Structures are given as structure tokens and as C-alpha cells.
Amino acid sequence: MCSLIWKSKLHERLKLFLWKLCCDVLPFGSRLQSIFGKTPGPCMLCGQSEGDDVHHFLSICTVTQHLWFASQWNFCSSALNFSSGRELVQWLHNPSFRHLLSKEESQEFFLYGTLLYHKLWMMRNEMYHQGTPLDLSKLQKQVKDGFIEHRSLLQSNSGSSQDLGSVEKVRWGLPRPGRIKGYVDFAKSNEEGAVAAVFFDPSGSVLAFGAKKVSVSSMFQGELEAMRFGVDLATRLHLGGLCIFSDNLHLVQSVMAKSCPFWNLHLRFSLSLVLCIRGG
């Protein structure tokens, strides 16, 4: 299933999100409960008590159901019954009506479903961390606009790949030969947090992964600790030719600029940057 995700023609950010969903590593309240022992909170989207879990998010949440029903496929709630991200990915890749779809339509359905849940997840996080109120019309428009944008890229890639041969198609989005991709992330519950890293070889196979608890004072520090943990783990495992990926734009921009935005994290940031340079 993971190989299917990494070899798809989705954007890298969508691949990473779908992989996290498939592997049950997104920081839902139910997931954090297994780490910290705390009861899941309400669904940030619809408000259902103790609804912050993957099954509710994928199938039961009324906001999820509304977006699917309002889509061009007009799915009703009875069509959504996923207990895990893996079940969802399998359904998006091979729905019961796939025989009615062309190859291009199957790719578009896979793309649309991934985008829908990615936008839902981003909105859920905005509501949780920033207190942003839910704007259902705006969310629906974001899904629609995102689909149009990514569909054009999908069609562009499909057209250009005809001249490149099947080998290039398979390697789209995978590490360059001889390079290793490392994805790092941070999740937090109140003052407790956890960092994780996973490494892939050029074929898309998992080389190694790990996680540990951390104590941080901000999301930026947590993402910084995740990056450092990933580099440290790769160093201990003697993984050379490493490319580290983070979904935290603030951290990525800071690393690119080689400048820490927080004075109290300057030393930690500088040491992490040195490790990244050595690891690459």
C-alpha cells in the first residue's frame, strides 16, 4: 500500500499526508491517547464528543459527509465506512465502480479523495491550533480549486511522461538513484510531544523508522527536534545521501535562510543545521 502511494503521481505533500493517514501516525486524539493515555477530545470540525479519531474523521463527521455529497460523485454517508486510513487508500485506489472509470478518471478520483481529506485535515488543525471558525463554503471551494489545480498538473505529467518511458514514470516522486528520503514530523498534546522519522530508499521501500517523546515549548521547536531526531537516526544507521523533508513551512524557510526566528533556539537550530549539512 505504501509503495502505491509513493509511486502515484500525487504532489509530494499529498503523498506524505496519505502515507501518514495510511500508517495511522497523524496526531488524532485517539492516536495521542495510545501515547499519553488521554481521552480523545471532540471533533474539531463537527463538534461530536470524543470524535477526534480516524474513523470519525474519514466516515462519520458531518463535514466529511457534506463534502463528499457535494462532490461530482455525490456520495451519501452510507458509502463512507472506513475504520482506518489503509481502508480509505484502498478504496480510493480501487473503488467498487472502478470498472466504469477510464484510467484518467481513476487517477482523478484518487486525487480528489486525497485532496478532500488533506483540506479537511488542514482545516481541523487551523481550528485546533488557531481557533479558526469553520467556513464550510470556503472549505468546499478550497477542495474544488485544489482539485482543478492539481488535476492540471496531473494531466501535464501524464502528457510529458509519454516521452520519458516507464522507468521515469515509476520513479516520479521517489528519491534520485543513490539518495534516501527521510520524512520527519512532530505531534503534541498539551505540554507533551513526540517526534518521528521514516526513511525510504530509491525504490520507495522503507529502510528504517523511529519515534520518541520530547518536551518542547512551541510547535517550531517540536518540528526542529523532529528534524534533528531524523538526522541523528540516519547518522546512527549510516544512511548517506539523505534528503530530509518536513511539512512545516516555517521550519523549511528558516533552514533555507539559515536563520532561526527565535533567539532562545538559536544554538539548537545552528547545531541541527550543521548536522543536516553533514548528513546530506
What is the residue extent of each domain of the chain?
1-155, 180-276
Of 152, 137, 154, residue with least CA distance to 70: 137
How sure is the predictor about 69, in pLDDT bands with cuts at 50, 70 and 90? very high
The residue type of 229 is F
Tell me the per-residue pLDDT of 131-175, one tens digit each, with 9 for 90 and over: 889 999 999 999 999 898 888 777 665 544 443 333 333 333 444
pLDDT higher than 80, residue 275: no
Of 210, 228, 207, residue with least CA distance to 279: 228
Cα-to-chain-centroid distance, residue 126: 15
Give the per-residue pLDDT at 35: 65
In angstroms, rounded to a whole number, what is the distance separating the alpha carbons of residues 237 and 251? 24
In angstroms, rounded to a whole number, what is the distance separating the alpha carbons of residues 92 and 79? 12
Give the per-residue pLDDT at 217: 83
Helix (H, G, I), strand (E, B), or coil: what is residue 234? helix
Tell me the per-residue pLDDT of 25-47, one tens digit each, with 9 for 90 and over: 888 887 776 666 677 789 999 99
Give the per-residue pLDDT at 189: 65
Q: Output helix, strand, coil percentages for the chain, rounded to the nearest 5.
A: 55, 10, 30
Please name every residue paired with 235 in a beta bridge, in sequence order, or none if there are none: none
Share of residues in the chain with pLDDT > 70 (%): 85
Q: What does the DSSP assignment read for 110-158? A: HHHHHHHHHHHHHHHHHHHHH-PPP-HHHHHHHHHHHHHHHHHHHHHHH
Query: Which cell numbers hold the place of 268?
Result: 539548537
Give the per-residue pLDDT at 157: 57
CATH of 180-276, one of 3.50.50.60, 3.30.420.10, 3.10.20.740, 3.30.2000.10: 3.30.420.10
Give the per-residue pLDDT at 171: 36
In angstroms, rounded to a whole number, what is the distance separating the alpha carbons of residues 239 and 231? 9
Q: From residue 167, how far is each of 5, 16, 29, 170, 205 by CA, in Å?
A: 17, 22, 41, 5, 16
How sure is the predictor about 93, in pLDDT bands with cuts at 50, 70 and 90? very high
pLDDT higher than 60, residue 224: yes
In angstroms, rounded to a whole number, what is the distance separating the alpha carbons of residues 270 and 278? 12
pTM higher than 0.85: no
The residue type of 251 is L
